[in-house]
Chain A
Amino acid sequence: MSAQSLYDKLWQSHVVREEADGTCLLYIDRHLVHEVTSPQAFEGLRLANRKPWRNHSIVATADHNTPTDHWDQGIQDPISRQQVETLDANIRAFGALAYFPFKDERQGIVHVVGPENGATLPGMTVVCGDSHTSTHGAFAALAHGIGTSEVEHVMATQTLVAKKSRSMLIRVDGQLGQGVTAKDVALAIIGKIGTAGGTGYAVEFGGSAIRGLSVEGRMTLCNMAIEGGARAGMVAVDDKTIAYLKDRPFSPKGEQWDAAVEYWKTLVSDEGAQFDSVVVLKAEEIEPQVTWGTSPEQVLAVNGRVPDPAAEADPVKKGSYERALQYMGLTANTPLTDIPVDKVFIGSCTNSRIEDLRAAAGIAKGKQKAANVKLVLVVPGSGLVKRQAEAEGLDKIFIAAGFEWREPGCSMCLAMNADRLEPGERCASTSNRNFEGRQGQGGRTHLVSPEMAAAAAIAGHFVDVRTFA
């Protein structure tokens, strides 16, 4: 048999049937569910008098609408509350392998909760009505976001109608410099290929710099594959993957563990595997990144200056630069390090895991947030992350620095709950989208790593974390 890529292997092992035009029925192993994109799917099942095909494929949690403070008071917003209670009722009626409802000690952002419970395993197909499902590809799973009609389709049939994508290898060779993180790698890649660069592709991240990343770093990277247009991002299995999964609640145990590990070790691209496209970056050339515009591809190294639309020849690009600068309230040629911030958000499925919080705390330790910074929100990705951070005393470091330590959830990543920017406010954020209005109407988002966010909170403006002491 010819050399296969990791994607080829994952795809092939899930094809139930294939039509003449290449449309396949793909078997789905894990279905993650949250409150925003599932109510209409459950309703559809009910109307057609259907049951879930295999409710034990479902792991569910409430994350988008849940508040991050005053949990004793419940969910204040009545429509948010109704959506969360609808999920409670649907899981009660239809069943699931696990449900982590609002206030449960293991509740959290669905993409943090899945892996930390061992509900995401190598070789699985993982879907969720959420574009950042690509996160789970860090475990050599074929994982991608789906729409609500597909959520219903997966519930009813345990399959998805899909066509194989083209394949892309993004290789990052070498060693990342000090202060340069997985987030910077993700942003640098998007800066290079553009937000549509990966459209139609399934992306494998490889190369020595990727092998050098921790499993959590790989999740950060795969999380943002969708921001580069790719529905799925993935990383091959290695010893780190296996070590991470050992003894997680839903990881296999005993003899099954041994059999699983043996299989998982085959989940790598074979020597000589072919890709439809290959992109190569040098790790040494990647610097800490800051987005300046309203699309993740509008990104620069921290020592750069806001670009000048007048210097842009392409009229569509020029127009979008002008609109971005106007929305962001920025002037061409301003050094990024001269831009002051009003708020800082450390959280989201991109950067809310324990390593992210340790990194941010490492910068904040013994320091104080700048006077011009109104609010620094630190929102752990899950209840388990929160407890771990508290056991390590990270919460005390944040609170001493004047940061707020909150309950887990999506929070100001998309501002569906009470955490949001006011019009015109500028935020250094560890989330994944800087779209207009994403963090609150009129809010201005700059995407950065947790280290860079913490440093901006202390300095009151963006700074190069490599020289920040």
Chain B
Amino acid sequence: MKPFTQLNGLVCPLDRANVDTDAIIPKQFLKSIKRSGFGPNLFDEWRYLDHGEPGMDNSKRQINPEFVLNFPRYAGAQVLLARDNFGCGSSREHAPWAIEDYGFRAVIAPSFADIFFNNCFKNGLLPIVLSTEVVDQLFSEAEATEGYQLAIDLEQQTVTTPAGQSFSFDITAHRKHCLLNGLDEIGLTLAHAEEIRVFEEKRKAQQPWLFV
């Protein structure tokens, strides 16, 4: 996993609440057995005017000029600014894979759906919860100012505007540690393999029917 430390990134504002993972990456792209290559189909049904299928040459497709991701001013954006309940619906990890593959490293919203939020951390993507008022402010600033960037510092747990206004965000110590160092969580857990084994033996003795 790519570590996440600091980022100074262009902000793309996606002004919709309840953006679900079906919209982030439509089901036809879930047939892939790979982890990469989902970026060109991120928000496929909003981003293109024609219907997308896996294997199509996306550079030849008809893009939707009215969808925010396609505005020239947001090309190369690394911070996705979103509304409430972002990432709701299906558990598909293809959603954070697509967002990350497109080039985003952080998503800021007033709230996220649980599974999506969790999935982000496994992929070097930082989801940041800020209050509705702050997110409102960032939306107005990002929409008003071309080239609007936010500075994100994971160590300090802050998001800073170009005017120097800083907002702090929460993250658990465990997630922060993994993200800062780009750690493989499975390796970390297996360091406790003995504890897991002891627990399992005890469980087997108490509820043998679970171990057929």
Binding site for B on A (CB under 8 A): 16-17, 19-23, 25, 27, 29, 36-37, 39-40, 43, 48, 50, 53-54, 56, 64-65, 77, 79-80, 82-83, 86, 97, 121, 123-124, 129-131, 144-150, 152-153, 156-159, 161, 163, 165, 195-196, 199-200, 229, 231, 250, 252, 256-257, 259-260, 263, 295, 316-317, 319-320, 323, 414-416, 433, 435-438, 441
Chain A CB within 8 A of B47 CB: no
A153's partner among B111, B113, B186 (CB-CB below 8 A) is B186
Distance of A65 Cα from B45 Cα, bound (Å): 20
Binding site for A on B (CB under 8 A): 15-18, 20, 22-23, 26-28, 30-35, 45, 51, 54-55, 83-85, 88-94, 96, 111-115, 118-119, 122-123, 172-175, 185-186, 189-190, 192-193, 195-196, 199-200, 203, 207-212
List B contacts of A145 (CB < 8 A): 91, 115
Contacts A149-B119, A150-B122 given; indicate if A83 touches B209 (C-beta within 8 A). Answer: no
Contacts A27-B196, A40-B34 given; indicate if A131 touches B211 (C-beta within 8 A). Answer: no
Q: How near does chain B come to A115, taking the closest CB pair, in angstroms?
A: 15
Q: Is the CB of A149 within 8 A of B93?
A: yes
Q: Is the CB of A441 within 8 A of B16?
A: no
List B contacts of A256 (CB < 8 A): 208-209
Q: Which residue of B lies closest to A82 (CB)?
A: B33
Q: Is the CB of A123 within 8 A of B45?
A: no
Contacts A19-B174, A21-B174, A256-B208 given; indicate if A146 touches B115 (C-beta within 8 A). Answer: yes
B112, B192, B212 interface centre (most CB from chain A within 10 Å) = B212
- 13 more contacts with CB within 8 A, not counting A323-B16, A436-B23, are A16-B196, A17-B192, A19-B173, A23-B173, A40-B93, A79-B55, A145-B91, A146-B91, A146-B115, A147-B118, A150-B122, A256-B208, A435-B22
17 contacts between A and B (CB under 8 A): A17-B195, A20-B173, A27-B196, A54-B200, A79-B31, A79-B32, A79-B55, A83-B31, A131-B91, A146-B118, A147-B91, A148-B94, A149-B185, A161-B174, A199-B112, A433-B20, A437-B26
Q: How near does chain B come to A435, taking the closest CB pair, in angstroms?
A: 5
List B contacts of A316 (CB < 8 A): 17, 83-84
Q: Is the CB of A263 within 8 A of B207?
A: yes
A163, A195, A200, A414 interface centre (most CB from chain B within 10 Å) = A195
Q: How near does chain A come to B42, taking the closest CB pair, in angstroms?
A: 14
Distance of A53 Cα from B172 Cα, bound (Å): 27
List A contacts of B115 (CB < 8 A): 131, 144-147, 231
Contacts A131-B90, A131-B115 given; indicate if A415 touches B196 (C-beta within 8 A). Answer: no
A79's partner among B15, B45, B54, B173 (CB-CB below 8 A) is B54
A415's partner among B27, B193, B210 (CB-CB below 8 A) is B27
Distance of A43 Cα from B28 Cα, bound (Å): 21
Distance of A64 Cα from B27 Cα, bound (Å): 10
Q: Is the CB of A157 within 8 A of B190?
A: yes
List B contacts of A260 (CB < 8 A): 207, 209
Q: Is the CB of A157 within 8 A of B23?
A: no
Q: Is the CB of B33 within 8 A of A149?
A: no
Q: Is the CB of B84 within 8 A of A196?
A: yes
Q: Is the CB of B172 within 8 A of A56?
A: no
B113's partner among A158, A161, A199 (CB-CB below 8 A) is A199
List B contacts of A54 (CB < 8 A): 200
Q: Which residue of A lies closest to B178 (CB)?
A: A161
List B contacts of A257 (CB < 8 A): 209
Q: Is the CB of B196 within 8 A of A196?
A: no
